[in-house]
Amino acid sequence: MVLVAITGPAGSGKDTLSKSLAERIGSVYPVQLISGSAVFRSVALWLYEQGYDPHYQLPATTFDTVSLSFKDDEVEIRQMENCTSYQANTYLSTEVGIIGSDFAKNSAVIYKSFVIATIVSQIESNCEKNIHSVIGARDAFYIASQIENAFSLLVYLSVSEKVQRKRLKGRVTIKDEQELEQKIELELERDRQDMSNGTLPANRGNYVSLKRDLAIQSDVIYRLDSNLLSISEATDLLYNAFLKAI
């Protein structure tokens, strides 16, 4: 089975492209879309709502009685008899993204290990059921490295800061220009933080530019320039690569 793992900084289009590609694949083949933003941010928000401080190490027993399930954009977190569901409108804010990055920075072993283990288990289950997987996440490449029984199509979406800023501005409905710029700076700082801690890959110069006539290999990192391509064009390129992978 094929695992398409897409990563990139804020505003690169990883969530939008992952969804578009999964819809394209799903019209012909069985596939599950896994949104890294949905899963990581929902868990971070749940932790915050439980009173945990993202600036401090989580207790080792934090997730001992916690289970996690997800489908499309909805994430369900269950602890004992209590169940909390999160939709996109609750976890996609810049503030929740920052909280997630802080948990990842200060409690990587506990927070990230729990989320990644759950995602890996789901992808492995998909492979056993002959279901392809598409994941868009900052940790997508690391997650792919944990999967043994899949062809891993690894794609890094590059984007200029100018385009980043334009796209990030389009995400929020803030009229105050100063507040808007502060939100954008928070996202850019999150990128820098995630590159420094290894969540986002930093050595992007050696990646292979993804082209239609290119032979596709598992575990090779391909670069897609999201500055120049529309979502439709990028989806076509990725679907072409997917077909070669299967």
Task: For 33-84, give the DSSP string.
Answer: EEEHHHHHHHHHHHHHHTT--TTSPPPTTTTTTEEEEEEBTEEEEEETTEEE
Q: pLDDT class for 61, splitting at 50, 70, 90?
A: very high
**Topology classification of domain 2-245:** Rossmann fold (3.40.50)
CA distance 160 to 164: 6
Q: Tell me: the pLDDT tens digits for 16-57?
A: 999 999 999 999 999 999 998 899 999 999 999 999 999 999
pLDDT greater than 80 at residue 202: no
Nearest-CA neighbor of 220 among 236, 199, 241, 246? Answer: 241
pLDDT score recorded for residue 176? 72
pLDDT score recorded for residue 204? 66
pLDDT score recorded for residue 32? 96
Facing residues of 70 across strands?
75
* Residue bearing tokens 């990587």: 108
CA distance 201 to 110: 21
pLDDT score recorded for residue 34? 94
